[in-house]
Structure 1
Amino acid sequence: MPTPVIVSAVRTPQGKEDGALAGVRSEDLSIPLVNELLSRTGIDPDAVEDLLWGCAQQRGEQGNNVARVISLLSDLGEGVPGSTINRWCASSAEALMRAADAIAAGQREVLIAGGVESMSRVPMGENTHNVHPRLAEHYNIGELQMGMTAEKVAEEEEVSRERQDEYALRSHERAADATDSGRFDDELVPIETDDGAVTEDEGIRRDTSLETLGGLPTVFKSDGTVTPGNASQVSDGAAGLVVTSREFADANGLDVLAEIGAHEVVGVDPTVMGIGPVPAVRQLTERTGRATDDYDLVELNEAFAAQTVYCQRELGFADDTFNVNGGAIAIGHPLGASGARLPVTLVHEMNRRDAELGLATECVGFGQGAAIEFHRG
C-alpha cells in the first residue's frame, strides 16, 4: 500500500479579528501558500491531481467552492480541480486525512491539502439564526455556543479560572519565544497587504501577565471563568501541505518532512464539544496499539484554556511535549485553517527535534473530535 508523506508545509501569519489581514480575501490568503508550495518542491502544477481546502463558513466570499477559485487564480491553473471541505474546526484536518487516504488507496499520487478562514470578513455569528429548529428539541441552543461549552467543561471538570489564566500565559510566552527565536520562520509565508507585508502572528501578547489576564471580565456567564484572555482568538489565516506518495517523493528527490499515519474522528456531546480530543486520541491509540506517552510532540487546537487543560490532564501529555510553541490562545484559531496549521507547525518541530512520532488533535464545534498521527524515520 502506498505511504502518504508530507513534502512541504507552510502557513500564513495569523491576523487578529479586524486586524492586519482583515483586508485580504480568503482566496488571497491561500494563493500565496499554494504558489509557495509549488515553488519549494519544484512540482509541476500539472502533476497535482486535486486541491483539497478546508473552510468552515462557506458563504459570502468563502462560497462558490473557494478551493476551485484558489486553483484557478494560483499557479495550479484550470487543469487542477478543487474541493472545499467542511468539518468545522477540523475542516483542513479532514482535507489532510482525505488526501492521505486517497494516496494510501492508490487513487492519487500528488495532492495539496489545507484550509483557510477569514473570520473578519465572514463572521461566525451570522449562522446562529440558521440552526435547524428541531435541534432545540434535544439541546438548549444557547448552550451550544462555543464559549458556553467551555464554561460547562470548566465547571464539570473543575478547571479553575486561575488554571485557565496560567495556561493562557504559557501559550503567549511559548508563542513569543518561538517567534523571537525564529522557530516559525520555515513555515511562515508573508502576506502582502495595502499596509505592507505581514510576517508574523499578530495576536501574541508579549506583555501580558497573570495580573492582566486575571482582570479581564468573563464573556459568556457573569459567574463564569472563560474570558477573552483564556480563549482562542478570532483570526484570519491559511495553512497548506503537499502530500504525495513515498514513491513519488523518492523518485523526484523530495525531502520528506513526515509520513501521515493513522487518523480518527469521533462525535461527542455538543454541549461539551471541547472534550473531543480525548475520545479521538483514545480511539486512535487503541487502533494503533500505542500509548499516549509514545508521542514525542503533541499539538492540540487550544480553542479554550478550559478544554485544553482538561484534555492534557485526561490524556496525560507531558508539558514539555504539549503545544511547545504555544497555541491558538496566542497564535489564533481561523476555523478552516487550524486543522492544517497544527500539522504544519508539528512536522517542522518534529524535524527540528528529530522526533519520531507526533500527534495533532482538535475539538470541533457541535461535538466532534479529530486526531492524526505523523511519523519520521
Structure 2
Amino acid sequence: MVSSSARARLLAKNDNDIVIVAAVRSALAKARKGGFKDTRPEEMLSGVLRAAYTRAMVDPALIGDIAVGNVLPPGGGANVARMAALHAGIPNTTPINTVNRQCSSGLTAVDQIANEIISGQIDIGIGSGVESMTFAYGGGWLADGWSAEVLTNPEAEECLLPMGMTAENLASEFNISREVQDKYAAISYQKAAAAHKAGKFKDEIVPLKVKITDPKTEKVSEIIVDVDEGIRDGVTAETLSKLQPIFVENGATHAGNASQVCDGAAAVVLARRSVAKRLGLPIVGKYVTSAVVGVPPRVMGVGPAYAIPKLLERTGLSKDDVDFYEINEAFASQAVYNIQKLGLSLDKVNVNGGAIGIGHPLGCTGARQIATGLNIAKQRNERVFVTSMCSGSGIGMAGVLVSEH
C-alpha cells in the first residue's frame, strides 16, 4: 500500500510517542461452566498483570498508574483491582483505579493511561480490563431499582433496555434480516475456528493456573486455562437458523448470533518511547489516539459507525489507510450494520473471528482487542489497525494503533 501523508506520520517514530511494550490476555472461558467458573476476577486480573509487566521486562516499581476496565464488579470494583495488583507483585506505591464505560471500558482504561503519559504525569502505566460474568451474572446491580423522576425521560429509560432488545431495534430499523445475521455469525465462528487450529491465538494468551470444583463430586483440582472455550468448529448459517430467538417472538437475535457470555482479563503496558528505549523495553506497537461518541440508547450498537469516522477525521486517515479493523461483535445485527455503514470489506474486519466466535467479557474486551490486533498485525506483516466497539446506553469508541513488530 502506498502511504498517505497521514499514514506516514503515524508510522514515523518520535521520542514522545506512547508505545506498547506488552499486550496480553487470558483465554476466554465460558461463564458459569467454564475454566474460570470458580475463579474470582481479582485472580484473573492478577495473572494478566504479572504476565504483562514480566513480558514487558518492566520493574513493577516503575509502573506509575494502572487503570482497569470493569463493568459488573461483584467485589466493588476498585477493591478488586487494588487487591489484584498487590497480589501480582506490584508495590503499594503504584495507584490504581477502575473505569466503567460499559463495553468500551478496557479501551477507556488504555486511553486514560496513554493520556497520563502524554501529560507528563507518568512514564509507564498499564491499561487493562477484567470481567467475571460468572460472578456478576444475574444482574444484582439492578436490585435497588431506579429513580422514577429520571425514568420520565424517555431516552434515560431506554438506557435500561436489554442489549438484545437494542439489537432487535437496530435490525428492524435498518432492515438487517435474520438470514444476513446468521450468515455473518457463521463466518465469525469459522474464522475463530480456523485461527485456533492454526495456533494464531497462542502468542496473545497467557495460560492461567486456577482451581476448579467439579459440580457433581465437589472435588477441587488445578487446571490450566489457555484456550478460548467458546470456539466451535463446523458452525454454518443453516445450523444457526434452527435456533430460537430470545428477546422478541419472530425476532432475529439468538444465542448463536450474539456475543458469548464469558470470563477473561487482558492488560496493555504503555510507556513513553524515550523511556522504553532508555530501559531497553521491547516495543511492539504504538497507541495513537481514540475517539468517543454518543448515539441513541435504543440502537446503541451503531456506535462504531460514528466513532470510527470521528477517529479517522482526527488522525487524517482514510479508511483504506487502515490495514484491518477489530470491531466488537456484540450482536450480528450491529456488526453487519457497522461494516455496511462504513463500507468495509469483511476480509479486513475481525480476521481471526470476533466476539460471536470467541467471547465478550465486557470490561476486558477493549484491552483484549488490542492484544489480538497486535498479534494479527505481526502474523500478517501489517502496521495500522483500528479497534472499536459499541457500549450499553449508547456509546461508541474507537482507537488507532500501529504495530512495530
TM-score w.r.t. length of structure 1: 0.96
| Per-residue deviation, 1:163 | 0.9
Report 1:357-368 matches (<5 A).
357-368=384-395
Report 1:253-268 matches (<5 A).
253-268=280-295
| Per-residue deviation, 1:260 | 0.7
Alignment partners' CA distance in 1, 2:290 and 2:204: 23
- Is the contact made by 1:57 and 1:122 (CA closer than 8 Å) also made in structure 2? yes
- Is the contact made by 2:78 and 2:98 (CA closer than 8 Å) also made in structure 1? no
Match of 2:69 among 45, 49, 54: 54
Is residue 2:329 matched to residue 1:315? no
Distance 1:132 1:312, change over 3 A: farther
| Per-residue deviation, 1:51 | 1.4
Distance 1:157 1:51, change over 3 A: same
Ranges in structure 1 where 5+ consecutive residues have no aligned partner: none
Report 1:1-377 matches (<5 A).
2-18=16-32, 19-58=34-73, 60-123=74-137, 125-129=139-143, 130-133=145-148, 134-139=150-155, 141=158, 144-194=161-211, 195-376=222-403
Alignment partners' CA distance in 2, 1:209 and 1:223: 20
Alignment partners' CA distance in 1, 2:63 and 2:399: 23
Ranges in structure 2 where 5+ consecutive residues have no aligned partner: 1-14, 212-221
Distance 1:294 1:132, change over 3 A: farther
CA displacement 1:118-146 (0-9 Å, x = unmatched): 01111262233434432343145497210
| Per-residue deviation, 1:205 | 1.3
CA displacement 1:276-295 (0-9 Å, x = unmatched): 01111111112222212221
Distance 1:263 1:142, change over 3 A: closer
Alignment partners' CA distance in 1, 2:188 and 2:374: 19
- Is the contact made by 1:12 and 1:33 (CA closer than 8 Å) also made in structure 2? yes
| Per-residue deviation, 1:350 | 1.2
CA displacement 1:81-118 (0-9 Å, x = unmatched): 11111111111110000111111222211101111000
- Please give the secondary structure, in 1, of the residue aligned with 2:243: coil
CA displacement 1:288-320 (0-9 Å, x = unmatched): 222122210100110000000000111112122
Q: Which moved more, 1:61-70 or 1:77-86?
A: 61-70
Bigger radius of gyration, 1 or 2?
A: 2
CA RMSD of aligned residues (A): 1.6
Alignment partners' CA distance in 2, 1:132 and 1:283: 34
Alignment partners' CA distance in 1, 2:242 and 2:370: 34
| Per-residue deviation, 1:370 | 0.4
Alignment partners' CA distance in 2, 1:202 and 1:136: 42
Alignment partners' CA distance in 1, 2:315 and 2:138: 36
Count of matched residue pairs: 376
Alignment partners' CA distance in 2, 1:318 and 1:204: 23
Task: Give the percent of matched residue pairs that are identical in Structure 1 and Structure 2.
Answer: 39
Alignment partners' CA distance in 1, 2:76 and 2:208: 18
Distance 1:364 1:132, change over 3 A: farther
| Per-residue deviation, 1:62 | 4.5
| Per-residue deviation, 1:201 | 0.5
- Please give the secondary structure, in 2, of the residue aligned with 1:273: helix
TM-score w.r.t. length of structure 2: 0.89
- Is the contact made by 1:54 and 1:114 (CA closer than 8 Å) also made in structure 2? yes
Distance 1:136 1:337, change over 3 A: farther
CA displacement 1:34-76 (0-9 Å, x = unmatched): 1111221221111111111110113x32534322111121111
- Please give the secondary structure, in 1, of the residue aligned with 2:308: helix
Code of the residue aligned with 1:110 in structure 2: it is I
Code of the residue aligned with 1:34 in structure 2: it is L
- Please give the secondary structure, in 2, of the residue aligned with 1:302: coil
